Structure 1
Amino acid sequence: MANWLWSRCVFGPHLQRIHRSPDQSRPDGRGRRGCNYQPRLLEKHTDSLLGWASALWSISYYSSPLLLSYLYRKGYICSSKLVPVSQYLGTVVVCLLGVACLRGLGRWKNSEYVQFISILKETKENHTQTNKKKLRCYDFDFSHWPSDFSWTEVSNPKLSKAGVSLLKPEPRLRGAADSFLNTVRTLPCHIISYLIVHSFGRRMLYPGSVGLLQRAMRPMLQQGQAKLVEEFDGQRNKLVACDGNEIDTMFVDRRREGEPNSQTLVICCEGNAGFYEVGCMNTPLEGGYSVLGWNHPGFGGSTGVPLPQNEANAMDVVIQFATHELGFQLNDIVIYAWSIGGFSATWGVMSYPEIQSVVLDATFDDLLPLALKVMPASWRPLVQHTVRQYMNLNNADQLLKYQGPVLLIRRTRDEIITTTGPEDVMSNRGNDLLLKLLQHRYPKIMTDEGIRAVRHWLGASNPIEEASVRTRPTEMLCFPWSVGEDMTLEGRRQLALFLARKHMRNFETTHCTPLPASEFHSPWRL
């Protein structure tokens, strides 16, 4: 027993917080207060040393190409000099192992850590609801968290380890010889695009996956998670997607409260630097909904990297978890996304069309125009190839596959998804998303006259200008969707404006301002 406990303390996870837990024996339900874990002096200092060693290793790893090049030019990479270096590195490793053992000794003498590590062991051996409830009272390294749900638990013949299906850009028709020659000709472009995406490209697109940013935000993330667990009785779960990535999720169940919105589950898809701990989960929570938040691959406790295929795989296992483990029907689920989270959201409703509705806040139609905006004009062919092959966030194409209710929220001072600047509301790519949706659903209304009328309405940058574009039709005129061919031009114009207002709401703010609960509405239904 002592040997087991010693090894667990040496190699166990870093404990960060002990959450507040209710005491059922007390009438007021109050129990232990939440607090940050306080390590003993020995554990504190040794953990700090190991943290610095980890940071130095990360810096060395990412700078290794430059470092090796410098050492090679200086003549340090040779057999006579590599032996002393290897001996030096061996000494460092032995010292670090000694520091880890001293940290284990400090943990072994701390009764709170010993209690935690015993609960963790018991939960991994016997994954019952009682043990999981005990384990959820602790915040620790998520890599040690036992799995709560896996894609293998669901019988889905369309799902495999290769991943779920994505919409691919339509290939150009070529002959066999032309196709081969084109492949050879574009091979350098493929190699450069691959290197761009897997180096700085995806980190620019998803800055929340950068370790340094997560380290800087760690106190804020820990505070946000403590609030979700201690104030909203949130349940943290680890889901295993079909690609092997572990997805960090947080579920707040409101069904026992009996409120009007509590029976509806809102699945939240965060932005490119958003985490469920401090992201858009708070908006539906304030509205009384049951909420399921999750972190992108590579964000927070989730593993992997945020590429489109991994994003779709993660979204799939989140929906499967909601239906098979949490007990929600697809028609009880609303997907709510902010910014780049619109890709995961539109993939979700495209693949699960029975989902009740989707709300897209500050979301664009296609990544390519926004990528071209921030890159030099001379890079246009390379940027286009890179986006289409590796980062094809084609939100509009996916949304058009969904026939359910949709609500778009446009930030009128958005500085991120505009192509010319926040002062030009017509360059907001949310406009293009709305126009593509209306043209697809109401082709006989969205003729040239209807498109011009909607563009005029979209050009309004404030409520006064918006109100000046008046509409007269009633909701009865909008059924069936094929209405429009026997209408006058003025009738089509008025009906197009009516439909635009039903599918999009304006919010006078910038891109990163949190959406108030008062602005979160159920989409319009026919």
Structure 2
Amino acid sequence: MGGMKKVIHCIFGPSLYRVYSDQSDGIYKPGHLEKWGDQIINSLVVMWNVGIYTSPFLATVLWRRGYFVIDGVTTIAKFLTGIGLVIAVSYYLRGVGRASNPVYTTFFNTFLAAKKNLTRDNKRALMMYDFEYSAWPVEFKCEKKGESRPWHPPTRRSALAYVMGLPCHVASYIVAHTFGLKLVYPGSISMLQYAMSKFLVEGRMKLVKEHSGERFKLQTLDGNEIDSMFIDKRNRHENGNILVVCAEGNAGFYEIGVMVTPIEANYSVLGYNHPGFGGSTGTPYPDQEQNAIDAVMQFAIQRLNFLPENIILFGWSIGGYSTSWAAAQYPKIRGLEAALHISHSLLMSSDRMKPRESNLSTNRGNNLLVKLLRYRFPEIVENEQFTLLHEYLSLDTQKQGE
């Protein structure tokens, strides 16, 4: 490869984070030119993200200062041209620095070989590096829905009630598609991911080096790419033939999340990041969440060769939504564990929940459960069943077992 051609390839090559080697701490050490170029590029990316989140305020300031007239637009255009030149020079410095670094050129050749033909040997060589995940080759494509089953809560609302509630639906749609989603899934905020990037890289290194983890990229039915990690303990431990699929919380990542619990119990484990989290693309809307875990389940069954009867779904916090949906689609799974972190909620609501009362019929959590069941299964939980359910929930654990 010629000198200039090599530089151009390195300019657009993936960023390298770690080299899994026993001879060093694994941290990739870029040269001065690459380091300077990356620092400038990363600083501009941070400024761009801050600008997006503060765009209403910035637009107001620019408007009041007259930057939206012809003279002001000319000034802004000159400023953006200068920024463009800085970016071009920064990318060139990065390319030259990478092309002159033997560690990066060795990685880049390995990457090109794996991208051209992802054999088992090429994959093993590629796993020696932790690099920008967008460049990782796709290893499993979800072509169709899995065991598709309708999963929509029934509704009894009349047409009039729907029309009357339409303004609220419009308002909720706007909120959900602007700042609401970021509040529900803060892990999808790019600034948070940038701040946690060091810890995520270290978490992946621990999974790979200490637990022989293997990273995979899965493509969902809607085209998103899902970052996943598989820990295989089959034929090594008693629980190894059982796979635990882990879905993290709303600010959780598999690198530093709940995977550690089933790993320590010697289960085989498959963790993944929600759409828009870490290396996964997309946005964590309900349909994309469903497609993501559907791809994970199909990958576990078709590629990793686990039977549904040997798969346990483990959802932490809001990950319980994804795992509950998957459990409805794959009813033959071994089990479902949806864990909620409610210690603070119990402290705040202990005067209402009354968990230690001898008469459990006064526990208001029972009322919440009954309302949920009546909404979810209106044709099953009717007056007669409601009475039986209330009596059952009033019993202590020992009598319920009898």
TM-score class normalised by the smaller sequence: 0.7 to 0.9
SS at 1:35 equivalent: coil
- TM-score for both structures, normalised by structure 2: 0.87
SS at 2:332 equivalent: coil
For residue 360 of structure 2, what is the aligned residue in structure 1?
none
- TM-score for both structures, normalised by structure 1: 0.68
> Is the 2:233–2:268 Cα contact (8 Å) retained in structure 1?
yes
> Is the 2:36–2:90 Cα contact (8 Å) retained in structure 1?
no
Q: CA deviation at 1:433?
A: 8.4
Give the alignment partner of residue 196 of structure 2, picking from 182, 201, 217.
Answer: 217
Matched, 1:68 2:59: yes
CA distance 1:156–1:58, shift in 2 (3 Å)? closer
**Equivalent residue letter for 1:9:** C
Q: Report the Cα distance in structure 1 between the residues aligned to 2:167 and 2:242, rounded to whole angstroms.
A: 50
Q: Report the Cα distance in structure 2 between the residues aligned to 1:116 and 1:288, rounded to whole angstroms.
A: 32
For residue 262 of structure 1, what is the aligned residue in structure 2?
240
Q: CA deviation at 1:216?
A: 2.1
SS at 1:354 equivalent: coil
For residue 186 of structure 2, what is the aligned residue in structure 1?
207
CA distance 1:445–1:321, shift in 2 (3 Å)? farther
Q: Report the Cα distance in structure 2 between the residues aligned to 1:431 and 1:193, rounded to whole angstroms.
A: 24
Q: CA deviation at 1:7?
A: 1.5
Matched, 1:170 2:148: no
Q: Report the Cα distance in structure 1 between the residues aligned to 2:370 and 2:16, rounded to whole angstroms.
A: 45
> Is the 2:10–2:99 Cα contact (8 Å) retained in structure 1?
yes
Q: CA deviation at 1:130?
A: 1.2
For residue 390 of structure 2, what is the aligned residue in structure 1?
451
> Is the 1:421–1:427 Cα contact (8 Å) retained in structure 2?
no
> Is the 1:415–1:422 Cα contact (8 Å) retained in structure 2?
no
Q: CA deviation at 1:36?
A: 0.9
* Structure 1 residues 30-45: aligned runs within 5 Å: 32-33=23-24, 35-45=26-36
CA distance 1:156–1:227, shift in 2 (3 Å)? same
SS at 1:421 equivalent: helix
Matched, 1:305 2:283: yes
Q: Which moved more, 1:342-351 or 1:213-222?
A: 213-222
> Is the 2:49–2:191 Cα contact (8 Å) retained in structure 1?
no
User: How many equivalent residue pairs?
Assistant: 389
For residue 18 of structure 1, what is the aligned residue in structure 2?
19
Q: Report the Cα distance in structure 2 between the residues aligned to 1:134 and 1:316, rounded to whole angstroms.
A: 29
Give the alignment partner of residue 339 of structure 1, picking from 300, 317, 339.
Answer: 317
Give the alignment partner of residue 369 of structure 2, picking from 417, 432, 440.
Answer: 432
Give the alignment partner of residue 351 of structure 1, picking from 329, 336, 341.
Answer: 329
- Give the share of equivalent positions with the same residue, in percent: 36
Q: CA deviation at 1:456?
A: 6.1
Q: Superposition RMSD on alpha carbons, in Å?
A: 3.1
> Is the 1:18–1:36 Cα contact (8 Å) retained in structure 2?
yes
> Is the 2:147–2:330 Cα contact (8 Å) retained in structure 1?
no
CA distance 1:118–1:455, shift in 2 (3 Å)? farther
Q: Please identify which structure carries the higher helix content.
A: 2
Matched, 1:108 2:99: yes
> Is the 2:147–2:329 Cα contact (8 Å) retained in structure 1?
no
* Structure 1 residues 316-327: aligned runs within 5 Å: 316-327=294-305
Q: CA deviation at 1:19?
A: 1.7
SS at 2:315 equivalent: strand
CA distance 1:449–1:334, shift in 2 (3 Å)? same
- Point out 4+ residue stretches in structure 1 off by more than 4 angstroms: 31-34, 155-159, 422-431, 433-437, 439-447
Gaps of 5+ in 2: 356-362
Q: Which moved more, 1:214-223 or 1:121-130?
A: 214-223
Structure with the bigger RCO (C-alpha within 8 Å, sep 6+) is 2
* Structure 1 residues 405-484: aligned runs within 5 Å: 414-416=343-345, 421=349, 424=353, 425=355, 432=369, 436=373, 448=387, 451-452=390-391, 454-455=393-394, 457=396, 471=398
For residue 521 of structure 1, what is the aligned residue in structure 2?
none
> Is the 1:254–1:262 Cα contact (8 Å) retained in structure 2?
yes
Q: CA deviation at 1:443?
A: 9.8
Write the deviation string for residues 413-462 of structure 1: whole angstroms up to 9, x where unpaired.
6225x69536645566997389949x9899999764663553564xxxxx
> Is the 2:113–2:122 Cα contact (8 Å) retained in structure 1?
yes
For residue 274 of structure 1, what is the aligned residue in structure 2?
252
